[in-house]
Amino acid sequence: MSRLPAAVDFTLADGRDLVYLLVIAGFVLALKGLSSPRGARRGNLIGAAAALVGIAMTFTDPAFRTPAPGVDHALNLALMLIAMALGAAIAVPAARLVKMTAMPQMVAVFNGVGGGAAALVSITEFLKFPHGTVAVYKIFEVVFGVVVGCVSLTGSAVSFAKLQELVTGRPITYKGQQPVNALVGLTILSLVLATLVTGSTPLLVVVLVLGLVLGVIFTLPIGGADVPVLISLLNSFTGLAVAASGFTLDSNLLIVAGTLVGASGILLTRLMSKAMGRSLPNILFSAFGSVVTAGAATGADARPVKAGTPEDVGVLLAYARKVAIIPGYGLAVAQAQHVARELADALAARGVEVFYAIHPVAGRMPGHMNVLLAEANVPYEQLKEMDLANPELPTTDVALVVGANDTVNPAAKSTPGSPIYGMPIINADQAGAVVFLKRSMRPGFAGIDNELLYDPKTTLLFGDAKETLTKLVQAVEAA
């Protein structure tokens, strides 16, 4: 006769670990949902719910109840709850009120705060280590979290200032800059090694200060147009700092969450670099992407372009069979996404097939343009990423470019000496006709003319994108 197994001793710690495992699965599912516009909202909610559950379960840790000399658990708990309430009071209104065009700035700020928090956690744990009896690998976990977290904190702060135009968006350079940066980096490395050997708190403090300095001087020479790539990289740094603090705290949840952020940030940085046709070292160290000061030629050197009127272009669009709308950062700045959808609806009512061709770095960050258009209730089916849109363009009657420039510049394919040569672009030049909505003939951030503007099949509509699109909607409805 078989015997029943003995009862399993399931403790609170086992339950907490099981919940943490489910939270980790939630983070993975959240990233999966964020991989497409259709699942992004659901993924975001799953990630937020998983984080909330993870935080709640942390308060069941015995450390909150175990008596310890000189520790007032009730006071610490109260301080933590107050800090969480203050954080929510700041973050919720900021997230709800931020304009979509300012989303990269908000990402930079929140990312920097995360890096700083991870550094503080590492420092706090270091101060609790018993002197002279700590393994070298434990000290390395702390020092790594401090350096990377501090670089992320100040680097993100400078990135925010550049995007918010609190400081110039141009690369800030000076003579001997790279040797100075290298010297600071080598000094940090030598002090890290000394800290590993000695476990010295004063040395760690110096490392912390130099890490803050490195974040600033690392970010200053990067131009405003390249800052979104830097933000993605710094986001990865924050994830690594969080993972390091997880090792220090023996928290599997922080280790996995930080690693997921670090890995996804690196992948996103690589994708953005590839979409721009440039290597990451080129973006970080070439001072490319500065604010453009060049303008179109004037006088005898000016090249002729074909300018049109909204009425003429409205007729062209109304009688087309297929139209591609190619949005860029100019559409975001003008907050013209809702009018763009109205134009698409007006065309669809006349039987015109409409789709949106989305470049990977349209706007300021990957997915930025998708979110803008989703905000205007543009159907997901009409959003086509570059690889899907380009095969459609040879059979497209009109390519309507709204606020884009370098991402449709044929020089990326035809001019080896061009700064953007090799950058994947939306092949607007393959459409039957091209309509450009621009404020002026000023070039994009690469500082070069777009030959497509001078193509005989291109018509330019000058003015604010939102106002021009409104006139186009009226012209299409009246055609």
Runs of H (alpha helix) within 34-135:
37-58, 73-97, 103-128
**Nearest residue to 153 (alpha-carbon basis) of 258, 252, 234, 228:** 234
Residues 6+ away with beta carbon under 8 Å from 167: 158, 161
Angle at 130 between CA 128 and CA 136, to 5 degrees: 100
Q: What angle do CA 357, 362, 366 make, to 5 degrees?
A: 105
DSSP assignment letter at 397: S
180: tokens are 């100075």
Distance CA 63, CA 328 (A): 51
- Identify whether 406 is a catalytic site residue: yes
In degrees and rounded to multiples of 5, residue 421 shows phi and psi of -60, 130
Helix, strand or coil, per DSSP, at residue 398: strand
Q: Which two tokens stand for residue 226?
A: 């390249």
Here the tokens at position 34 are 């964020």
Q: Which of 226, 397, 406, 464 is catalytic?
A: 406
118: helix, strand or coil: helix
| Active centre residues (catalytic) | 406
